[in-house]
Amino acid sequence: MKKRIFAISIVLILAIVLTACGGSSSQSSTPSGGESGGGDQVVELVLGGVTSDSAKEAVTFFAEKVAEYSNGTIKIIDFPDNQLGNDETRFEMTQTGECDISIGSTSSVAATYNDFYIYDVPFMFLNKNEVYDIGFNGEAGKQILNGLEELGLKGLAFWENGFRNLTTTNKEIKGIEDLNGLKIRTMENDIHLAAWKAMGANPTPMAFSELFTALQQGTVDGQENPIGIIVGNGFEEVQKYLVMTEHVYTPYYVVMNLDKYNSLTQEQKDALEKAMAEATLYQYERSQYYEDISIEDIEAAGCKVIKLTDEEKMPYKNAVEKIDPVAMAKKKMARPELADKLVKELEAAR
């Protein structure tokens, strides 16, 4: 009984202290001066996210950190799992301001922001360190992210969707010849379509939201996605084979409506960027974690996992090289020189 009264008093005291803190901070949150007004109100930011657990957890982490660093003046309203629509829709909504922040695959929106096409070149990156150090944090990568401003978007970060792998419903893929005529769902992306055609398959672009049913009903014979998306959506339940082709690395972009970003106080911008930098590293960590543990889950669901050696990947790589994907990306990019720069940065680091 005594314990209970004690606990209740603690809760009451905490509530009073917290209320007092909240009150005082909202009256004096403009230490730099000259910006009174904006920083006093709590800014609510609607965030439209994806289906990978790593990204969902990183958004939760980001929301906590940004609230903390902004003294509670930024609040994230999270809509995970493509609730606000597919990548393309959320990207557009972020441009118009219907959504404040969105995450999605660069490949899905490359038709709108053409410089993203460089990330659709198959077999561009050898490993994740190359992706992080050069793909994202090299000169070209930074310029690609910053270039989003032309579309009214602040590029906040690159997160990880990951290296993509092929899953099939009935046919075990032993070599590239087994792909012949296989109907594989791809994203609506010209380079992906050309690459799968070059590998002998029959690529079928389709919205992600329709994919699970399409696999289940046999409208397509397979699909390709990173491990995090495969398990995040239970594709292993309707697919019998997973071939670790790792044919292309797909980044996630994290973008914010530029006007909204500019409407924040300097303190809020700093808080947001600090929280995002930490959340980004956390997301990479979680993504790797899920990749490591998920293979077992996929196998346990009765889906056979086929790993490929570098040598076994060569026929896929050779087939794709015939379409010269770098040249194809450059033709589409607004700043093709960034493709050359990225390739050079990669070569210099190898």
**Binding site residues, ligand TK8, CB under 6 A:** 50-51, 82, 87, 104-105, 108, 161, 187, 208, 225, 229, 250
Contact by Cβ (8 Å): 94, 164 = no
Of residues 104 and 141, the one with the C-beta less far from ligand TK8? 104
Contact by Cβ (8 Å): 345, 140 = yes
Smallest gap, in angstroms, from Cβ of residue 254 to ligand TK8? 12
Q: Which helix (H) or strand (E) holds 249?
A: strand 249-257
Of residues 187 and 338, the one with the C-beta less far from ligand TK8? 187
Say how many CA atoms lie within 13 Å of 120 toward its Cβ. Answer: 32
Of residues 163 and 282, the one with the C-beta less far from ligand TK8? 163
* The one-letter amino acid at 130: E
Smallest gap, in angstroms, from Cβ of residue 287 to ligand TK8? 13
Which string of DSSP letters, residue by residue, matches 121-142? STT--SSHHHIIIIIITSHHHH
Smallest gap, in angstroms, from Cβ of residue 225 to ligand TK8? 5
Of residues 51 and 288, the one with the C-beta less far from ligand TK8? 51
Of residues 39 and 135, the one with the C-beta less far from ligand TK8? 135
Smallest gap, in angstroms, from Cβ of residue 241 to ligand TK8? 18
Distances from the Cα of 164 to the Cα of 158, 229, 249, 309, angstroms: 16, 9, 6, 15
Sequence-ordered list of residues with C-beta below 8 angstroms from that of 163, at least 6 positions apart, any chain: 128, 226, 246, 247, 248, 249, 250
Smallest gap, in angstroms, from Cβ of residue 85 to ligand TK8? 10
Smallest gap, in angstroms, from Cβ of residue 105 to ligand TK8? 3
Smallest gap, in angstroms, from Cβ of residue 229 to ligand TK8? 4
Of residues 69 and 208, the one with the C-beta less far from ligand TK8? 208
Contact by Cβ (8 Å): 200, 178 = no
Smallest gap, in angstroms, from Cβ of residue 29 to ligand TK8? 35
CA distance 265 to 272: 11
Closest residue by beta carbon to ligand TK8: 105
Of residues 206 and 277, the one with the C-beta less far from ligand TK8? 206
Sequence-ordered list of residues with C-beta below 8 angstroms from that of 49, at least 6 positions apart, any chain: 55, 56, 59, 78, 79, 80, 81, 82, 102, 103
Distances from the Cα of 263 to the Cα of 118, 203, 260, angstroms: 31, 43, 5
Of residues 26 and 114, the one with the C-beta less far from ligand TK8? 114
